[in-house]
């Protein structure tokens, strides 16, 4: 018998998120001195003195030409994913993401496949996901950017069975389990970004998007449908709202972001993937004009699947049980961004590398646990 | 039997993370006075000074100093103090803060802070016929009679030019300055 005591603490999360954004927004108020009217003024207050200024490292643009200065971004938003582009700017990017999952977990504890096989006929042992993501962005005006994300997924999963004879296509448990693979287009997402507030040091971005059910939910293994997580899409429309705050204080760029994915309606196989929620904080440090390093912490919450595919036997394997998809995860990621070009008419090329691992996983399982993830991004903006 | 742990640590972690990130962000953003925009605008002002020629009676060829005056207070004005000692076309830059309008005509270029938006008329009157390059980052500054005005938009810094005001002040502007400006008059 498998017992689960997972209880999401959304109250804490919501309060944390609200506090986070309020704190950031408050801190972004420009510091403008107000003076009484008249022609005679007192000397500058100490905090505006040159000496005080020198306490804070300042980027030196004095070697740039006037034309180059006009190409420099006030907020170097290429360091973070979320940002509104300048009017007329087009950005195209390609991202290769990978995620490796090995072993099962229940709650925060790891469990061996043998233990899983006491409750299920089969157990997943590992899964790998590769996703090629094409992103297109266009900003018709300064404050609004439209974005389309087209994913192409390559999924593979290995299993072991309680009865070695269950192995398919000649792969037995002793051979490391039988593999499953699916490849194809995922759910396409179209989003709009609105820069609700822009100051010299910050951008508050509201984001809203729709996820389209372009990914297949009909992937088969032999004569049965593959489990939920091996399908390429959700089979239903989704709403993807997000709120992001980007603050800049040289040489740091900070991003705080909250995002949710709400699945709308059951798909044609009688289930709806669970909603997902995430909050993240990213700090990027500019090492030089072309190179920045970043660290990112992200918390994710996954709801369980509603309904069930009637062709999948929930007792056969945990991945076929729709209630065993709920969980929480906190990831810690590290990134490096290299970019060339000042943007504007000359264009800007960026190369981003990111890798991370979960520092905490609490899964209503048995569920496959994430070991690490990585991404390589190449983008061009003009 | 497989038991699921209660995961109390997990529940408090988002709050701790948010608290940590908030503190870090507050600390960073409180240093906005040294922002990238200020640094950028400071570089613009330095370029302006090097791309303008003053009439001989205002800035004699043998003069070793170029005086940048400031009127009013704001982070950019404070940052401009850092230009003291820079050499602009062979002349040492001297930055002076003026508190009296009767004295502002003594400088070669005057940065007028946004805090003085309501007294712009008085500033321009005080500078009449004085061949002073006026610079600001105040909305409407160039339209009202200032020569060069820094503006932020589309995540970039731009500048506006009032050619009429430059001509009145008998200033000669370099071709690069003219080419990249948004001319408002």
| Range of lowest pLDDT (A41-55, A266-280, A329-343, B46-60) | A41-55
Instruction: Answer for the pair A367, A324: CB distance below 8 angstroms, yes or no.
Output: yes
* Residue A45 pLDDT > 70: no
Per the model's pLDDT, the better-predicted residue between A115 and A39 turns out to be: A115
Is any Cβ of chain B less than 8 angstroms from the Cβ of A71? yes
**Which chain B residues are within 8 Å of A12, Cβ to Cβ?**
11-12, 14-15
Token digits for A352? 């981003």
Is any Cβ of chain A less than 8 angstroms from the Cβ of B125? no
**Which chain A residues are within 8 Å of B111, Cβ to Cβ?**
none
pLDDT for A69 equals 85
* Residue B59 pLDDT > 80: yes
Mutate to test the interface with A, among B7, B11, B179 (most CBs of A within 10 A): B7
Confidence of residue B53 (pLDDT cuts 50, 70, 90): very high
| Range of lowest pLDDT (A30-39, A277-286, B148-157) | A30-39
Is any Cβ of chain A less than 8 angstroms from the Cβ of B59? no
Contacts of A339 (CB under 8 A, 6+ apart): A78, A290, A292, A348, A349, A350, A351
What is the sign, positive or negative, of the torsion defined by CA atoms of A31, A34, A39, A40?
Answer: negative
Question: What's the distance, CA A272 to chain centroid?
Answer: 21
Token digits for A71? 């190409």
Domain that holds residue B150: 33-183
Contacts of B68 (CB under 8 A, 6+ apart): B45, B49, B80, B83, B93, B94, B95, B96, B107, B108, B109, B110, B111
Nearest partner of B71 among B138, B26, B164, B129, judged by Cα: B138
- Other CB atoms within a 10 A radius of the CB of residue A341 amount to 16
pLDDT in tens, A139-156: 887 678 899 999 999 999
Instruction: Answer for the pair B147, B133: CB distance below 8 angstroms, yes or no.
Output: yes
pLDDT in tens, A271-326: 999 999 999 999 999 887 678 899 999 999 999 999 999 999 999 999 999 999 99
Give chain A's domain count: 1
Is any Cβ of chain A less than 8 angstroms from the Cβ of B61? no
Does B18 contact A75 at a Cβ distance shorter than 8 Å? no
pLDDT for A278 equals 97
Q: Choose among B12, B25, B86: nearest Cβ to A24.
A: B25
Instruction: Answer for the pair A331, A298: CB distance below 8 angstroms, yes or no.
Output: yes
Is any Cβ of chain B less than 8 angstroms from the Cβ of A15? yes
**Which chain B residues are within 8 Å of A28, Cβ to Cβ?**
29, 32
What mean pLDDT is predicted for residues A209-235? 94
What mean pLDDT is predicted for residues A24-43? 36
End-to-end CA distance of chain B: 82
Per the model's pLDDT, the better-predicted residue between A63 and B154 turns out to be: A63
Number of H helices, E strands in chain B: 6, 10
Does B32 contact A34 at a Cβ distance shorter than 8 Å? no
What mean pLDDT is predicted for residues A69-81? 66
Instruction: Answer for the pair A280, A299: CB distance below 8 angstroms, yes or no.
Output: yes
- Other CB atoms within a 10 A radius of the CB of residue A155 amount to 22
pLDDT for B15 equals 55
Which is it for strands A327-340 and A348-381: parallel, antiparallel or unpaired?
antiparallel
Q: Quote ipTM for the complex.
A: 0.78
Q: Choose among A20, A58, A365: nearest Cβ to B18.
A: A20
Residues of chain A with pLDDT > 70, as a percent, come to 73
| Range of lowest pLDDT (A110-114, B8-12, B51-55) | B8-12
- Residue B18 counted as domain residue: no
- Residue A43 counted as domain residue: no
- Residue A228 counted as domain residue: yes
**Which chain A residues are within 8 Å of B158, Cβ to Cβ?**
70
- Average pLDDT over chain A, rounded to whole? 80
CATH at residue B65? 3.40.50.2300
Nearest partner of B50 among B66, B39, B64, B37, judged by Cα: B66
Per the model's pLDDT, the better-predicted residue between A11 and B89 turns out to be: B89
Contacts of A11 (CB under 8 A, 6+ apart): none
* Residue B130 pLDDT > 50: yes
pLDDT for A221 equals 87
- Residue B26 counted as domain residue: no
How close does chain B come to A364, measured CA to CA in Å? Answer: 8
How close does chain B come to A160, measured CA to CA in Å? Answer: 18
Q: How far, in Å, CA of A52 to CA of A59, rounded?
A: 15
Per the model's pLDDT, the better-predicted residue between B8 and B72 turns out to be: B72
- Beta-strand ranges (E) seen in chain A are 90-107, 109-111, 122-141, 144-161, 179-185, 188-199, 202-212, 220-221, 224-225, 237-239, 242-249, 252-264, 271-272, 276-286, 291-302, 306-307, 327-340, 348-381
- Residue A296 counted as domain residue: yes
What mean pLDDT is predicted for residues A163-169? 59
Domain that holds residue A131: 88-381
| Greatest mean pLDDT range, A60-74, A256-270, B57-71 | A256-270
What mean pLDDT is predicted for residues A119-126? 92
pLDDT in tens, B9-39: 445 555 555 555 444 444 443 333 336 778 8
Q: Choose among A40, A74, A115: nearest Cβ to B99.
A: A40
How close does chain B come to A182, measured CA to CA in Å? Answer: 30
Does B40 contact A61 at a Cβ distance shorter than 8 Å? yes
Nearest partner of A2 among B2, B54, B141, B41, judged by Cα: B2
Cα nearest neighbour of B126 on chain A: A39
Which is it for strands B109-112 and B133-136: parallel, antiparallel or unpaired?
parallel
Instruction: Answer for the pair A250, A286: CB distance below 8 angstroms, yes or no.
Output: yes
Is the pTM for the entire model greater than 0.80?
no
pLDDT in tens, B78-89: 788 888 999 998
Per the model's pLDDT, the better-predicted residue between A279 and A16 turns out to be: A279
pLDDT for B168 equals 93
What mean pLDDT is predicted for residues B138-142? 91
Peptide bond into A251 cis (omega under 30): yes
Confidence of residue A352 (pLDDT cuts 50, 70, 90): very high
CATH at residue A297? 2.40.160.40
Confidence of residue A259 (pLDDT cuts 50, 70, 90): very high
Q: Give me the total of CB pairs closer than 8 Å, taking one residue from chain A and one from chain B.
A: 256
Nearest partner of A285 among A296, A274, A271, A272, judged by Cα: A296
- Residue A328 counted as domain residue: yes
pLDDT in tens, A46-59: 333 333 333 334 55
Does A53 contact B37 at a Cβ distance shorter than 8 Å? no
Is any Cβ of chain A less than 8 angstroms from the Cβ of B101? yes
**What is the phi/psi pair of residue B111, to 5°?**
-95, 120
Token digits for A21? 């954004």
Does B25 contact A16 at a Cβ distance shorter than 8 Å? no
Nearest partner of A87 among A138, A139, A137, judged by Cα: A139
- Residue A121 counted as domain residue: yes
Does A48 contact B33 at a Cβ distance shorter than 8 Å? yes
* Residue A20 pLDDT > 80: no
pLDDT for B131 equals 92
- Residue A36 counted as domain residue: no
- Residue B5 counted as domain residue: no
Give chain B's domain count: 1
- Residue A162 counted as domain residue: yes
Q: Choose among A45, A74, A281: nearest Cβ to B156.
A: A74
């Amino acid at each position: 018998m498998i017992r689960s005591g997972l209880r999401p603490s959304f109250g804490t999360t919501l309060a944390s998120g609200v506090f986070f954004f309020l704190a950031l927004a408050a801190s972004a108020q420009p510091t403008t001195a107000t003076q009484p009217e008249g022609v005679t003024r007192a000397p500058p207050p100490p905090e505006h003195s040159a000496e005080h200024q020198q306490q804070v490292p300042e980027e030196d643009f004095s070697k740039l030409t006037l034309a180059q200065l006009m190409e420099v971004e006030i907020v170097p938003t290429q360091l973070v994913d979320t940002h509104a582009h300048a009017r007329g700017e087009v950005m195209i990017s390609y991202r290769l993401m990978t995620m490796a999952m090995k072993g099962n977990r229940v709650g925060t504890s790891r469990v061996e496949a043998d233990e899983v096989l006491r409750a299920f006929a089969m157990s997943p042992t590992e899964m790998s996901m590769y996703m090629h993501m094409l992103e297109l962005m266009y900003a018709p005006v300064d404050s609004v950017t439209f974005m389309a994300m087209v994913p192409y997924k390559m999924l593979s999963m290995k299993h072991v069975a309680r009865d070695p004879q269950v192995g398919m296509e000649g792969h037995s448990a002793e051979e490391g389990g039988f593999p499953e693979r699916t490849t194809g287009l995922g759910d396409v997402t179209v989003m709009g970004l609105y820069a609700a507030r822009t100051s010299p040091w910050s951008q508050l971005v509201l984001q809203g998007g729709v996820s389209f059910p372009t990914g297949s939910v009909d992937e088969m293994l032999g004569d049965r449908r593959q489990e939920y997580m091996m399908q390429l899409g959700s089979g239903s429309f989704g709403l993807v709202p997000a709120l992001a705050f980007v603050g800049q204080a040289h040489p740091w760029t900070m991003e705080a972001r909250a995002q949710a994915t709400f699945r709308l309606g059951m798909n044609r196989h009688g289930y709806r993937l669970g909603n997902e929620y995430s909050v993240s904080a990213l700090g990027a440090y500019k090492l030089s004009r072309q190179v920045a390093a970043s660290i990112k912490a992200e918390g994710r919450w996954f709801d369980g699947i509603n309904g069930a595919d009637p062709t999948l036997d929930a007792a056969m394997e945990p991945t076929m049980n729709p209630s065993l998809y709920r969980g929480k995860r906190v990831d810690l990621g590290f990134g490096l961004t290299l970019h060339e070009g000042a943007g504007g008419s000359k264009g800007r090329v960026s190369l981003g590398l990111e890798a991370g691992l979960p520092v905490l996983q609490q899964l209503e399982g048995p569920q496959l646990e994430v070991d690490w993830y990585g991404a390589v991004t190449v983008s061009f903006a003009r | 039997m497989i038991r699921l742990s209660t995961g109390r640590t997990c529940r408090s972690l988002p709050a701790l993370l948010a608290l940590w990130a908030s503190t870090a962000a507050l600390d960073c953003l409180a240093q906005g006075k040294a922002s990238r925009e200020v640094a950028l605008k400071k570089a613009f002002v330095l370029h302006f000074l090097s791309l303008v020629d003053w009439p001989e009676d205002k800035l004699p060829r043998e003069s070793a100093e170029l005086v940048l005056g400031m009127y009013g207070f704001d982070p950019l004005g404070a940052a401009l103090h850092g230009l003291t000692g820079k050499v602009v076309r062979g002349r040492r830059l001297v930055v002076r803060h003026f508190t009296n309008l009767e004295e502002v005509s003594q400088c070669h270029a005057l940065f007028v802070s946004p805090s003085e938006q309501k007294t712009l008329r008085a500033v321009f009157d005080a500078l009449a016929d004085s061949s002073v390059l006026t610079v600001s980052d105040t909305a409407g500054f160039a339209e009202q009679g200032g020569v060069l005005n820094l503006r932020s938009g589309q995540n970039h810094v731009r500048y506006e030019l009032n050619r009429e005001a430059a001509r009145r002040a008998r200033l000669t502007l370099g071709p690069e300055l003219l080419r990249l400006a948004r001319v408002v008059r």
